[in-house]
Amino acid sequence: MELPQLLPAADIVVLAVPLTARTEGMVDRAFLSMLRDGALLVNVARGSVMVTDDLLAELPRIEAILDVVDPEPLPPEHALWSAPGVLITPHIGGDTDAFPRLARELIGAQVRRWRSGEALLNVVHGP
């Protein structure tokens, strides 16, 4: 299934993509309009993946948890601070007790792969 078919059925959509030319602004009015009423959008990607004004227009029809925002830092008077159905976290979405161990394991695996000529994991190609 493609994203346009998945979004209307989703209760929760988690954005966890790199910021590239293809993903910048991908969560716009058209994307958000495909979400069902009451859906929850979680952004742990980058603030610029989402068009902030388009999100504001869709609130409170949908709700959002934002670990990243655009602009960042968010000015004290910005509408997101008081928007209904929005929870803003202080850019800690990836911070867990498991992170140091997982980072060491991934770095070790990447070095082993690089030394043996294997393809690296989690490679992101830019625009």
Catalytic residue among 22, 29, 36, 72: 72
Catalytic residue among 24, 61, 78, 91: 91
72 is catalytic: yes
91 is catalytic: yes
Query: Which amino acid does the sequence have at 15?
Result: L
- Encoding tokens for residue 127? 């625009």
Beta bridge partner(s), residue 64: 41, 86
* Complete edge-to-edge strand list for the sheet that includes strand 40-43: 12-15, 40-43, 63-66, 86-88
Q: Which of 117, 121, 126, 93 is closest to 109 using CA atoms? A: 121
Residues labelled catalytic: 46, 72, 91
